[in-house]
Amino acid sequence: MPGGVAVIGGSIAGCAAALAAVRGGAEKVTVFERAAGELRVRGTGIGMHKDRFTELAAAGYVDEDMPWAPMNRRLWTVADGSRRGGRAIAVQPFPFRAYAWGTLWSALRERVPAGTDYRPDAVVRGVEQDADGVTVRLGDGGSERFDAVIGADGYRSVVREAMFDDVKPHYAGYVGWRGTSPDTGPCPEFQQDDCHVAVFPGGHCMLYRITVPGGGTRLNWVLYTVPPEVPGFSGDLTSATSLPPGRLSADLTTALRTLVSTHMPPYWAEQILAAPPETTFIQPIYDLEVPRYASGRLLLAGDAATIARPHTGGGSVKALQDAYALEQAWRAGGSWAEITAAYDEGRTALGAQLVALGRRLGHAQVEHTPDWAAMQEADLDAWWAAQNGGSAAGSGFGGTALRRG
């Protein structure tokens, strides 16, 4: 064991899960990815804590050849009169590596062994397990049988639905407006490798540089706020969805750009407004936790298992760590019951911890923001530690330490 394994979803979590299954000894791995185009062109940013990178590199899931940009400091800034970059409330260490989503995916996709059957434009409608295996129902009306199925199909997972039909993503009540802008260089007041958190009443915007496919850098940004009430936007985001480029109404885009012009320091406002409106998109923020990561011959990984709000800085790390835990469980061998139990051990609790951290950070940074302008560095440091259970170290921000088998 194991025999033939299907991975539903071929993005970062899916590629990592496929690699884990091959290393664990799967006889044949098939990946079903619903997207028909190249995932490598996706250019939004991902941060990875440097300690977590070191652990995952030792485990064989990432390496130094994956293009990245350094981040060393995090500056919390607020608009302050004519100061171009705003006033820095606090400066904190921020030992992270910045990746473009598509660049990280490309590197992981190249790691998937050549014998893996990776199928783009392959929609999976559902999965049904029995005592002998799992049937995968495909969008074209066909079906295929596997010994086990890994659900790495994100926040709208059909595998999770088959396991827990009453577990749905919960809308947090706010959104992330995302985009990338041409890199015009650092603000003269700050450093090239700074990560900036520009804060305003009712939210904040995180900005940092990423390397992009084809070379060069862009400024990646995501602005978190409660969506404005404007014509053409219903605000009904309770069912898991997204608003990709082309689906944002002109009124909604105008409202968000006005928010930036009004509340952001001038330099950062100019950078965000330089992004073509048709390339920006909205990511409604959800969270979700499952009773367990494995049931019978069905297993979950990445956002299919746990959706933590992006403020935790550990979403991609957890997906890669899920894959490593899968690999270790399969290497240990035994029956399917033993493999799934070994995988589930610790993953469910860790996922719940990450979800709880994301809720605390979202509550403090978006839902009930402090009077940012009145804060001094000591105030912000104490406020940040409070959101992390009294200590930023060990809170789970940036991901928890990898458990090596």
Query: What CATH number has the domain bearing residue 244?
Result: 3.30.9.60
Q: Where are the beta strands (DSSP E) in 101-230?
A: 117-119, 124-129, 134-138, 143-146, 148-151, 170-182, 194-200, 203-211, 217-225
Distances 293 to 117, 150, 303, 315, 403 between C-alpha atoms, Å: 24, 10, 11, 16, 16
Domain-ending residue, one of 227, 253, 285: 285
Cα gap 199→79, rounded to integer Å:
8
Same domain flag for 243 and 128: no
Domain that holds residue 271: 69-102+170-285
Instruction: Work out the average pLDDT over 354-376.
Output: 95
Mean pLDDT of 59-71: 92
Same-domain check for residues 77 and 197: yes
From the list 379, 359, 272, the residue with the least C-alpha distance to 308 is 359
Length reported for the chain: 405
Question: Are residue 135 and residue 73 in the same domain, yes or no?
Answer: no
Helix (H) or strand (E) holding 45: strand 45-49
CA distance 355 to 212: 29
Indicate if the pLDDT at residue 315 is higher than 50: yes
The DSSP bridge partners found for residue 13 are none
Going 182 to 187 to 193 to 199, the CA torsion angle's sign is: negative
Q: How far apart are CA 69 and CA 113, in angstroms?
A: 27
The pLDDT-based confidence of 1 (bands split at 50, 70, 90) is very low
Regarding whether 182 and 162 lie in a shared domain, the answer is: no
Taking 70 as the threshold, does the pLDDT of residue 394 lie above it? no
**Least confident range of 25-29, 242-246, 271-275, 294-298:** 242-246
Let me know whether 188 and 305 are in one domain: no
Mean of all residue pLDDT scores within the chain: 90
pLDDT (mean) for 320-346: 90
Question: In the predicted model, what is the mean pLDDT of residues 320-329?
Answer: 95
Chain segment 198-257, per-residue pLDDT in tens: 999 999 999 999 988 777 888 999 999 998 877 656 556 777 777 777 677 788 888 999
Nearest to 366 by CA among 307, 303, 311, 286: 311
Same domain, 127 and 247: no
| pLDDT computed for residue 250 by the predictor | 82
Q: How much is the pTM?
A: 0.93
Residues whose CB is less than 8 angstroms from the CB of residue 172 and which lie 6 or more positions away in sequence, other chains included: 284, 285, 286, 287, 309, 359, 362, 367
Tokens standing for residue 80? 């302050």
Q: Which pLDDT belongs to residue 277?
A: 83
Query: Same structural domain for residues 246 and 357?
Result: no
How much is the average pLDDT of 38-54? 83
CB 332 within 8 A of CB 339: yes
What tens digit of pLDDT does each residue of 74-97 get? 999 999 987 888 999 999 999 999
Distance in angstroms (rounded) separating the CA atoms of residues 6 and 30:
5
In this structure, are 299 and 357 located in the same domain? yes
Number of domains, the chain: 2
State mean pLDDT over 45-56: 95
Report pLDDT for 39: 63
**pLDDT of 140 over the 70 cut:** yes
Mean pLDDT along residues 380-402: 80
Question: What average pLDDT does range 110-134 have in this prediction?
Answer: 94
What is the spatial distance between Cα 32 and Cα 113, in angstroms, rounded to a whole number? Answer: 15
Residue 52 lies in a domain: no
In 243-343, the DSSP E strands lie at 281-287, 294-295, 298-300
Q: What's the pLDDT at 234?
A: 57
Residues 291 and 210 in one domain: no
CATH number of the domain to which 322 belongs = 3.50.50.60
What would the mean pLDDT of 67-73 be, rounded to a whole number?
A: 93
Supply the pLDDT for residue 390. 55
Determine the Cα–Cα distance for residues 335 and 2; give it in Å rounded to an integer: 9
Confidence bin at 274 (pLDDT 50/70/90)? very high
pLDDT of residue 243: 76
Of all residues in the chain, what percent carry a pLDDT higher than 70? 93
Query: Residues 213-224: pLDDT tens digits?
Result: 777 888 999 999
Tell me the range of 2-6, 43-47, 264-268, 346-350 where mean pLDDT is highest. Answer: 264-268
Q: What is the pLDDT of residue 40?
A: 58
Average pLDDT over residues 166-181: 93
Q: Judge contact between 313 and 397, C-beta under 8 A.
A: yes
Distance CA 173, CA 366 (A): 10
Residues 6+ positions from 175 with CB-CB distance below 8 Å: 224, 225, 226, 227, 237, 282, 283, 284, 285
